[in-house]
Amino acid sequence: MAGAMLREGDLIYLLDDRGRRHFLILSGGMMKVAGLGVIDGSRLVDRPEGSVLRVGERGFHALRPGANELMESLDRGPQVITPKDAATIVFRLDLKPGDAVLESGVGSGSLTTALLNAVGAEGLVISVELREEFAAKARRNVERSPFAKAWDLRIGDVASVAVEAQVDAVALDVPAPWLALENVNGFLRPGGRLCA
């Protein structure tokens, strides 16, 4: 069965037979792809996901990244939460499509990507990051997610940040999470979940 059609502007990756991924934004013209050279994107536009692109003697499957591939391909800076740990956090927070969740300690945006994938386009992820340089790196990484429009990034301290809405869950990846509990109590809904 054929996958969904690849469209111009889609974030995709080309997967080689050794498991290496080459990420790109699909366009209909000639594109320079790091590690591959120049390819003709028009050979993939309006083709089914999973189509094979031949580059010289090599074949590459054209695929859309899921949360796992996005997390594994982050431009890293601070230590990242691995997909395995992110899955445990999402499960323990009992996140579902449409939920609102606040996280603090954004780092490179690894957990943010998993949270967005869990709550989807109808949900909301509010991220609070103390350091502007981490926020800038996370912004570049998370904007690749198909759910990035459901993301609200704020610079500040989770122990004092104002949050106007009630959230269903809170994930704290900060050195002293207990310092934020009084503030978190003001916006975590009754019966909501906390992971620190």
Range list for CATH 3.40.50.150 in the chain:
68-195
pLDDT digits (tens, 9 = 90+) for 98-141: 999 999 988 888 899 999 999 999 999 999 999 898 888 889 88
Lookup: tokens for 177: 């999470």
CA distance 191 to 90: 16
Range list for CATH 3.10.330.20 in the chain:
11-63
Q: What is the CATH topology of the domain spanning 11-63? A: Vcp-like ATPase; Chain A, domain 2 (3.10.330)
pLDDT digits (tens, 9 = 90+) for 140-195: 888 888 888 999 999 999 999 999 989 999 999 999 999 999 999 999 999 999 99
pLDDT digits (tens, 9 = 90+) for 1-33: 455 888 887 777 888 888 888 877 778 888 887
**Contact status, residue 102 vs residue 167, Cβ threshold 8 Å:** yes
pLDDT digits (tens, 9 = 90+) for 54-65: 887 888 888 887
At residue 30, the 3 state secondary structure works out as: strand
Report the CATH architecture of 68-195. 3-Layer(aba) Sandwich (3.40)
Q: What is the 3-state secondary structure (H, E, C) of 2-65?
A: CCCECCCCCEEEEECCCCCEEEEECCCCEEEECCCEEEEHHHCCCCECCCEEEECCEEEEEECC
pTM of the entire predicted model: 0.70
